[in-house]
Amino acid sequence: MAQNLQQLKKRIKTSDSIAQIAKAMEMIAASKIRKTQDSVEKHNSYARKIKYITQRILTDQDLYDEIEKFSKERDGKRLVYIISPDKGLCGGLVVNLFKKVSFYVQPSDYVVAIGKKAANNVARYNYDVLASFSMGTNFPKYDYIYPIIDIAKKFYVSGEVTKISIIYTEFKNMLIQEPVIEEILPIKPDKNFQENKMDYIFEPDPQSILKDMLPYYFEVEFYSAFMNAYASEQAARMTAMKNAKDNASDISASLTNIYNKSRQEKITNEILDLANGQQRI
């Protein structure tokens, strides 16, 4: 019995320690997600304006023929970016992401892995990996994407690939994060603008403006995917750590109850032994 009590005490201590660690990780994730939401809100107004202007010029001026290389569907190899966390402990986020990856990515595709989980996964399945980058544990800075998108520009402009896609986890809200596939190039027309024909005076000409706008359009699409992936990771980790904390606390409470009952039983048995000994005397 004494040995069982010692084992119960160790298990209770372990459960309490796990609950404390999970609570600390939950609070860290909650802090990061709040900062992320602020950054996303600041970026969204800029991203929406870039996308709006680009689509407006393309649709109103009918300039898709002017940028046929960036707008026309062609047969050929694809370049797929996979954005994942560097670390685990974020529920089913990583598993769900790679279900989407296995569904979409073909052996003939080029792959760029962002995040250690993505790098490990693509290596396991022998994809044709061009490069790998770490995701990091802090909110991604805007200039971090430049060496990553330079790969896409190089391979797409040279014609070695004809389509560029990103697979990442989209942040819906604190409870819902969904893996999505977004095709960045070629640029697809936005149907919301096709029925609204308006006359504009452009200075300089629309072709020049569009040529200058496309790099920014490309950047905001990539950076939005990065921000969504980071926000999804923190939200999923916060939820997973909250569940882990609650489960560890429940186990600790259950073990404490068993410990108290066992201890009380031990004391009762000792009292009975003493009482029986006195009766024999």
Domain ranges of the chain: 2-21+240-280, 42-237
Tokens of 222: 């990539």
Rounded to whole angstroms, how far apart are CA atoms 208 and 191?
A: 23
Query: Do 78 and 110 meet the contact criterion of CB atoms below 8 Å apart?
Result: yes
Beta partners for 165? 80, 183
- Residue 83: its pLDDT value, please? 92
Tokens of 65: 């023929």
- Residue 111: its pLDDT value, please? 92
| CATH class, range 2-21+240-280 | mainly alpha
Rounded to whole angstroms, how far apart are CA atoms 153 and 92?
A: 33
Helical residues (DSSP H) of the chain, grouped into ranges: 2-61, 68-71, 93-104, 116-124, 146-157, 206-280
Rounded to whole angstroms, how far apart are CA atoms 25 and 242?
A: 9
User: Which CATH number is associated with domain 42-237?
Assistant: 3.40.1380.10
Tokens of 86: 């560097």
Query: Do 45 and 220 meet the contact criterion of CB atoms below 8 Å apart?
Result: no
Rounded to whole angstroms, how far apart are CA atoms 83 and 165?
A: 11
Rounded to whole angstroms, how far apart are CA atoms 22 and 25?
A: 5
- Residue 63: its pLDDT value, please? 60
Beta partners for 81? 112, 166
Rounded to whole angstroms, how far apart are CA atoms 85 and 102?
A: 17
Other Cβ atoms closer than 10 A to 202? 13
Block means of pLDDT (10 residues each) for the chain, 281 residues, are 74 88 88 80 78 74 59 77 88 89 88 90 86 84 86 84 90 85 79 60 72 80 88 88 89 88 81 68 54
- Residue 55: its pLDDT value, please? 74
- Residue 168: its pLDDT value, please? 92
Question: Who's near 16: CB < 8 A, 6+ residues apart?
Answer: 248, 252
Query: Do 110 and 161 meet the contact criterion of CB atoms below 8 Å apart?
Result: yes
